[in-house]
Chains A and B, each alone.
Chain A
Amino acid sequence: MKWTFFHKLGSPKWFYEISGRWLPILGWAAVLLILAGTVWGLVFAPQDYQQGNSFRIIYIHVPAAFLAQSGYLLLAIAGVVSLVWKMKLADIALKCAAPVGAWMTFIALVTGSIWGKPTWGTWWVWDARLTSMLILLFLYFGIIALGQAISNRDSSAKACAVLAIVGVINLPIIKYSVEWWNTLHQPATFTLTEKPAMPAQMWLPLLVMVVGFYCFFGAVVLMRMRLEVLRRESRTSWVRTLVEQSIGRGGSA
């Protein structure tokens, strides 16, 4: 396996160039997939035999929940890369992905509680999945707050990396303990109807939406990372020529 690709990632300039090529692909894929998935899921997919039309929020809720968890995993991976290989790009990725992941968690929570109103009859139940999502949101808040509290950029990135790794080790423990707590305490008043094996007309649009959300997440994080790279490298010559070029183009147009 060639590692040149990995080593090149250490260079902000190289990353800026390559990500400029990825970004339009990811962005357009996200737009098309999310549009297609939304129309397909909201209009063409059949109704649920129990929940009627209210189940259609699944097409936003589930992709957001996927991204919320993958986002935290991404933070931990970036943390390991940053601590082991001292790669600045990993610091930037950690810092830029954390707020996006937190928003995804928030969306999953809000859509979950909106979904809960017609199906369970209340906005919030201390259901195991909802509760562990809420804790995940707090974990994201912790990383964001720690990153902002430490003024030195390098130590802030390292501290966030350590916290993300500690968090990711704890995440499964938290998840299982919450599930266990729930089965012990919660009387069976609200039983989530066991997920029936969904027909293909239902899960295909969901799959499209999940892939679309991943592309969207990738595109947003890349955009934020590119901005951060420009900001950090603003004194280097390549950024200056880049900015001068774009100003020149803006002036002539």
Chain B
Amino acid sequence: MIGLFVLLLKREALLLCRRPAELANPLVFFAIVIALFPLAVGPESQLLQELSPGLVWVAALLAVLLSLDGLFRGDYEDGSLEQWVLSPHPLFVLVLAKVAAHWVFTGLALVVLSPVLALMLGLPAQCFGVLLLSLLLGTPVLSLLGAVGAALTVGLKRGGLLLALLILPLYIPVLILGSGALQACLHGMPATGQLLWLGSLMVLSLTLSPFAIGAGLRISVGE
């Protein structure tokens, strides 16, 4: 089982490395959205620092959402998904490998990029630990929940906007807890509570959502 998991991860990594543009797009999007806000609300550093927890999190959330549309699309079109559904291995393991690869190449990449952009927004350096930790715990939840929506809409021609409609309301707890952790840190308060909540949300979605993703894929493939 673990061998299969690793094999799938390698396949996903290879596929993504062959199309580096897909790898870079969410990151560039993340950076552009962050750059839009100072242009919209003005360059005052005090204001930007106050807003930065929310801005970083909203931008990260949108970047993950944008990358989800293509999560199962390629496999759906070339028929690999059908093979997955037919294969003797449990579907949730295959799905988990797929989502793990997606997270490593978008979520983790966002985590690595975020300190640079947060620095540009004026987030003080002592908050970087909380920033990294909150994104590290929160982005897997975004990937997993988003994959449920992606699985349900993969068979549709114009699923992108629908995907946002389905998934964004479900992202709200992560947004609240993630930006709440940063806000607490910004005001010199401990952020442990929010981080622990984010961790438990991650565990919850890690255990439950693969089944929902699998069910969604079966429906989309069966159509």
The chain A residues found within 8 Å of chain B, CB to CB, are: 83, 135, 138-139, 141-142, 145-146, 149-150, 152, 155, 158-159, 162-163, 165-167, 169-170, 173-174, 177-178, 180-181, 184
Write the nearest CB–CB distance from A39 to chain B, whole angstroms.
38
A197, B156: Cα distance in complex, Å: 52
CB pair B180–A162 under 8 Å, yes or no, is: no
Interfacial residues of chain B within 107-161, with CB under 8 A of chain A in the complex: 145, 148, 152-153, 155-156, 159
Q: Which residues of A contact B173 (CB under 8 A)?
A: 170, 173-174, 177
With A174-B173, A178-B176 given, name 7 new contacts (CB 8 A).
Answer: A150-B156, A155-B155, A155-B219, A159-B216, A162-B219, A163-B148, A166-B170
Interfacial residues of chain B within 159-185, with CB under 8 A of chain A in the complex: 159, 162, 165-166, 168-170, 172-173, 176-177, 180, 183
What is the chain B residue whose CB lies nearest that of A158? B219
Nearest 9 Cβ contacts at the A-B interface: A177-B173, A138-B169, A155-B223, A181-B176, A142-B166, A177-B176, A158-B219, A159-B152, A173-B173
Q: Which residues of A contact B216 (CB under 8 A)?
A: 159, 162
Contact digits for B196-223, partner A, Cβ 8 Å, 1 yes 0 no: 0100010000001100100110011011
Q: Which residues of A contact B168 (CB under 8 A)?
A: 138
Write the nearest CB–CB distance from A175 to chain B, whole angstroms.
9
CB pair B176–A180 under 8 Å, yes or no, is: yes
A142, B201: Cα distance in complex, Å: 22
A139, B155: Cα distance in complex, Å: 21
A152, B152: Cα distance in complex, Å: 13
What are 18 A-B pairs at a CB distance below 8 A?
Answer: A135-B169, A146-B152, A146-B153, A146-B162, A149-B159, A149-B162, A152-B223, A159-B216, A159-B219, A159-B220, A162-B152, A162-B219, A166-B148, A166-B170, A167-B170, A174-B172, A177-B197, A180-B180
Write the nearest CB–CB distance from B135 to chain A, whole angstroms.
17
Write the nearest CB–CB distance from B185 to chain A, whole angstroms.
13
Q: Which residues of B contact A146 (CB under 8 A)?
A: 152-153, 162, 166
A48, B209: Cα distance in complex, Å: 47
Secondary structure call for the B interface: helix
Interfacial residues of chain B within 50-77, with CB under 8 A of chain A in the complex: none
Q: Which residues of B contact A142 (CB under 8 A)?
A: 165-166, 169
CB pair B169–A166 under 8 Å, yes or no, is: no
Q: A146-B153, A149-B156, A181-B176 are in contact. Are A173 and B201 (CB under 8 A)?
A: yes
A139, B177: Cα distance in complex, Å: 20
A146, B223: Cα distance in complex, Å: 14
Q: Which residues of B contact A163 (CB under 8 A)?
A: 148, 152, 166
Q: Which residues of A contact B155 (CB under 8 A)?
A: 150, 155
Write the nearest CB–CB distance from A101 to chain B, whole angstroms.
15
Option from A135, A145, A166 in Cβ contact (under 8 Å) with B165 = A145
Write the nearest CB–CB distance from B148 to chain A, whole angstroms.
6
A142, B162: Cα distance in complex, Å: 8
CB pair B223–A138 under 8 Å, yes or no, is: no
What is the chain B residue whose CB lies nearest that of A175? B173
Q: Which residues of A contact B172 (CB under 8 A)?
A: 135, 174, 177-178
Option from A141, A150, A162 in Cβ contact (under 8 Å) with B212 = A162
A158, B201: Cα distance in complex, Å: 26
Q: Which residues of B contact A139 (CB under 8 A)?
A: 169
Write the nearest CB–CB distance from B156 to chain A, whole angstroms.
6
Write the nearest CB–CB distance from A62 to chain B, whole angstroms.
23
Q: Which residues of A contact B165 (CB under 8 A)?
A: 138, 141-142, 145
What is the chain B residue whose CB lies nearest that of A180? B176
Most buried by A among B165, B197, B222: B165
A138, B169: Cα distance in complex, Å: 7
Write the nearest CB–CB distance from A7 to chain B, whole angstroms.
24
CB pair A155–B220 under 8 Å, yes or no, is: yes
A33, B145: Cα distance in complex, Å: 42
Q: Which residues of B contact A162 (CB under 8 A)?
A: 148, 152, 212, 215-216, 219
A120, B177: Cα distance in complex, Å: 27
